[in-house]
Structure 1
Amino acid sequence: AFTFSTEYWPIPEKVYEAFPGFHGVELPLVFVGLMTFILIMSSVTMVLAVEAGHRMDKKGVVKWMLWTIIGGFAFLGCQAWEWSHFISGTDTATIGDVVVNGIWKENYEIFGANLNFNQYGPPAFAALFFFITGFHGFHVFSGVVLNVIIFFNAATGLYERRGHYEMVEKVGLYWHFVDLVWVFVFTFFYLI
């Protein structure tokens, strides 16, 4: 509802159309879709690690935990690129820029963003975007740290000596929660 209640809210297709290495090419939401795919695939690798733990397969747990960690770092790298791109420059058309009295303006041009001044009008968009994605990113980073700890514990045989891989499953639940939260962030923040 907030998106449609203010003329200063950016048009999602214009803000989120950047992709690393494709300067000037319009690819609406492709990069964010890739980020989502990476995070969901890391959830799949976590499921495989948990399943390997149930089978007491140390090598399988270590392998799939490593892939989960790589996925987490890849997502965080993508988020860092997205943040730096938004801070240094991106397309920033707002609804107020392209709509006059409910009619789309013809021949509008989108210029690069510069967060040294507030091109969004009220700071609601930038504050909300950086808070939500930053808070989620912090939890992804925390999950990666936990996954690294579990990875080393599994690699050194700690869980094999205990006779169970319960901690892999517990950390897996946290990782799935972080992934689920991203699905909601993606849906309600990027798409709507």
Structure 2
Amino acid sequence: MNFSIKLRLYREIAGYSAKELADLVGIKYTTYLNYENAGTEPRYEILRKLADTLHVSVDELIGAENTEDKLQRYYKKLKKLGFFVMPTKDVEGKSNIFIEDRDECAHTMPPHDFLSIMDKVESSAELINSEYTVYHSAFMEYENIIGKEFEDWLKSDDSKEAQEIRDSMKDKFPDFYNRLMQSNAEPPERKKHKE
């Protein structure tokens, strides 16, 4: 999708007329129409203002990221959290997002306001920290499971490979080796092979 098409799409999603968007960005209406209809591309400063006003990234506006996908991702995220989310139209035909939470408290807002709120929440330190904690816990649990499996194997396997690892640990990391071996079972004795 080219820039002109994306610009019109995001303007319509945001609920602005071409004239309103031109005024908000501080450019002439005819200049804006050239961007949307004639394929003229703006200078970066204007591109940045357009993106900010439409609550999308410059990448989205020039085609590197898709706002429709972003909206769908946010809808799915909210639905997983127990919200009812549905795109709607108001009496004038402008796009809106209807949101109802678990307590049946309903909200209706234009897509650009919805995206702005979701972007702020997504980038909030509180959410990032809580997500970090959840992911960190999941990774630690995985490591604990894998570590326990390795520990159990190391303590119970009587293969030459396991004994070599135990001997190496005992020589290089005696404190760690002692703590490891003090829990539960003792390692098997090394089998002596007849030569």
Relative to the length of structure 2, the TM-score reads: 0.24
Give the number of the structure with larger relative contact order, counting CA–CA contacts within 8 Å between residues 6 or more apart. 1
Higher-Rg structure is: 2
Larger % of helix: which? Answer: 1
Relative to the length of structure 1, the TM-score reads: 0.24
Larger % of strand: which? Answer: 2
